[in-house]
Amino acid sequence: MKNKYEGDVTIMMYSLKMRASQSKSGSSQHISGAERIINENEINLNVEAFISRAMNHSKGQPDFINLKIEAVTQDEIQYVDALPVKTVEVLNAETGQEIILKYLEQIGITNGSAIMKMFSQTYNMRGAMLLDVDTLERLEPNHERGLRATYMDAVHNSANKVEDTKNHFAEAIVLASKVINAPNIIGEICVSDDPNYVTGYVAALSIGYVRITKLKDMGSPDGGRIFLYRGDHDKVKDCINYLEHQKVLVRNVPNNPATQNKNAATKNIVTNCSIVDKNNFLMETINNLKQNNLYRTMNVIESAQDSHVAIDGHDFIMMASNNYLGLTADSRIKVAAMDAIERYGTGSGGSRLTTGNFTLHKELEDDLSKFKHTERAILFNTGYMANVGTISALGRSGTVIFSDELNHASIIDGCRLSRAQVVIYRHNDMKDLENNIKKIAPSNGLIVTDAVFSMDGDIANLPAIMELTKKYNLLVMVDEAHSTGVIGGTGHGIVEHFGLKSNPDVLMGTLSKSLASEGGYVCGSQTLIDYLCNKARSFIFSTSLAPATIAAAKAALNVLNTEPERVKRLHYNIEYFCKHLNHYGINTNTESAIVPIIIGEEERALKIASELYNKGIYISAIRYPTVAKGQARLRAAIMATHTEDDLNTVAEKINRTIKP
């Protein structure tokens, strides 16, 4: 026996087993049994409890009690988690049995009825049947005795009460949690053989421990256990060995159905055979996403957001960040944020309209309105909230919102939350937009568009849109999330880019991209900002941004104002990268920092992004629903701080990965 030492002390536990029986007319009749794995100081109490349990059993008084105490070392013990428990309440045994068949189907067993018929052979067995679910061959060596899964207990602490009555519920979970870990076991079904206990269960890793409240009629002693085996029979020996000898302690075993494990405790009341599991849709949706290559996961970055980042201790060229000007790690901006914490503390303590309105908020709003040449500005907590709050406030009933089909999700959500009629026009298609406007001829209308489209990197035809708003007396709102700091000779955004003489009515933007912080804003007239301050719910009902966040954005805006060469460098990098891709025959061209490389199939885009990841390039695969189905793409985002070397490497590796 191997020992594990902690210093010089072997950590010992003890397996304690009790079997009580009665000899009736020469044959031995099982009365009661129990087992635990415990510490030395718990032996006496547990022996007493076991004897009391044996002597007071409803089946009668035993004339033979077998107590076995064996030493077990810690490293012989395997720890497993308790299966999550769910209770299905049924009105009669027949429904209960049908429920079992449904669950068996869920774990890939289609001949459930034939398996349930095997219970007629378990009634007189002491142990469980080990059944090949496909051939219905019984695999336990001794059919009369059956298999005994043994050497298991719940992980308990010494404060646990020692119980002298059987806790059917907890003990069954311990057993099922061990059994389903045995080699080639895919599940277990159990119907209690206690005449006074009609509850049973079906258990498997994928469905958990499903407790069914009625599986037989009260008073019936018929019951049994079937361990469901699937696979080659050369593992039968290992399976039996595991069940009979492996010491297992099960974590997080609930004591009663009312305190089922938090992981997946559900309760369903079922009056017919359909299983209505209120959590089913979660798993179904997740599985669906996985099957369609649409399941999303998160990477963990261990360094600052910059042109290179560390993940798992490795260096990656960052080609997916919105930190276009590379300012998130700029020391001047960090110092401004730290100073703000020194002066104002960490949180703002309330919404702008209650306590969370500091000098800093006002100063940043003034800076933004100056930058965008508007009368005023208003801050929101995110760009998302700026769109949702503004559009839902402007879109009153009777209003018609005309929205580009490729607008950002936050615009779409704002439209959904509004009471307005929403009309989607074809992407950047001015003819389609005008036709729609003419058809409806709204008296209150709003055109809303991204300035730079976030997944394609193209720029809205704002001059034409402004003409239409004049002609039809409509409001226009532009989302400058990807244009501020990026387009226009000095990064002032779409108005500068087109050299327009006047501003759109609503200029929305975010502090989270070029401005290296987080938060959103809207710039416009005094009247518009007053209106939003009173009507935009995401502004009114949310705690305002923290001082450090505001100070960082303010400092970044100052850098943008005073260092136009950063914007120039970004423009240079964009052109340089596109030229390189073109040189490899990858056709892409953009004036913004977003360079889409269309792949098509979702699965292929994911595969290419993951191959590039393995080559040290962090680039996003954008898939449905962010873009249309079959339009999956790599989306490269360029930063002012990328070097030519970075961009050469990326272009060359993209080329090699895309082309077989």
Rank residues 185 and 411 by Cβ distance to ligand PMP and give the closer one.
411
Rank residues 95 and 410 by Cβ distance to ligand PMP and give the closer one.
410
Binding test (CB under 6 A) with ligand PMP, winner from 260, 454, 469, 573: 454
Rank residues 101 and 638 by Cβ distance to ligand PMP and give the closer one.
638
Residues 338-397 binding ligand PMP (CB under 6 A) are: 382-384, 387
Rank residues 35 and 479 by Cβ distance to ligand PMP and give the closer one.
479
Q: Is the peptide bond before 254 cis (omega within 30 degrees of 0)?
A: no
Distances (CA, A) of 458 to 50, 393, 588, 590: 76, 28, 11, 6
Binding test (CB under 6 A) with ligand PMP, winner from 181, 449, 484, 512: 512
> Applying CB under 6 A, what is the total number of residues that bind ligand PMP?
14
Distances (CA, A) of 48 to 56, 67, 163: 12, 11, 10
Q: Cα angle at 100 between 94 and 103, to 5 degrees?
A: 145
Across the strands, what pairs with 89? 269
Binding test (CB under 6 A) with ligand PMP, winner from 306, 450, 458, 505: 450
Beta strand 12-24 pairing with 27-38: antiparallel
Distance CA 565, CA 325 (A): 10
Minimum separation from the CB atom of position 427 to ligand PMP (A): 14
Contacts 24+ apart (CB under 8 A), 643-646: 643/307, 644/576, 646/307, 646/308, 646/317
Distance CA 79, CA 155 (A): 8
Name which of 373, 305, 313 is nearest 334 in CA terms: 305
Minimum separation from the CB atom of position 385 to ligand PMP (A): 7
- Return the DSSP state at 556: H
Q: Cα angle at 356 between 354 and 357, to 5 degrees?
A: 95
Dig out the tokens for 76 from the structure. Answer: 């012989």
Virtual CA dihedral for 488, 492, 494, 500, nearest 10 degrees? Answer: -90
Distances (CA, A) of 16 to 127, 145, 190, 245: 19, 21, 24, 14
Rank residues 392 and 510 by Cβ distance to ligand PMP and give the closer one.
510
Give me the catalytic one of 247, 372, 513, 554: 513
Rank residues 214 and 635 by Cβ distance to ligand PMP and give the closer one.
635
Minimum separation from the CB atom of position 393 to ligand PMP (A): 16
Whether 454 is catalytic is yes
449 near ligand PMP (CB under 6 A): no
Minimum separation from the CB atom of position 386 to ligand PMP (A): 7
Binding test (CB under 6 A) with ligand PMP, winner from 33, 520, 524, 547: 520
Rank residues 352 and 482 by Cβ distance to ligand PMP and give the closer one.
482
Give me the catalytic one of 247, 361, 482, 554: 482
C-alpha R_g of the chain: 34
Dig out the tokens for 156 from the structure. Answer: 């308990």
Minimum separation from the CB atom of position 508 to ligand PMP (A): 8
Residues 473-492 binding ligand PMP (CB under 6 A) are: 479, 481-482
Rank residues 437 and 593 by Cβ distance to ligand PMP and give the closer one.
593
Residues 255-314 binding ligand PMP (CB under 6 A) are: none
Contact 488, 496 (CB under 8 A): yes
214 near ligand PMP (CB under 6 A): no
456 near ligand PMP (CB under 6 A): no
590 near ligand PMP (CB under 6 A): no
Distance CA 21, CA 24 (A): 9
Beta strand 185-191 pairing with 77-81: unpaired
Whether 117 is catalytic is no
457 near ligand PMP (CB under 6 A): no
Binding test (CB under 6 A) with ligand PMP, winner from 199, 510, 538, 544: 510
Minimum separation from the CB atom of position 479 to ligand PMP (A): 5
Give me the catalytic one of 307, 348, 392, 454: 454
Rank residues 205 and 409 by Cβ distance to ligand PMP and give the closer one.
409
φ and ψ at residue 366, rounded to 5 degrees: -65, -45
462 near ligand PMP (CB under 6 A): no
Show the site string, 392-421: x = touches ligand PMP by CB under 6 A, - = not: ----------------x-x-----------
Whether 538 is catalytic is no
Annotated catalytic residues are: 454, 482, 513
Q: Which residues bind ligand PMP (CB under 6 A)?
A: 382-384, 387, 408, 410, 450, 454, 479, 481-482, 510, 512, 520
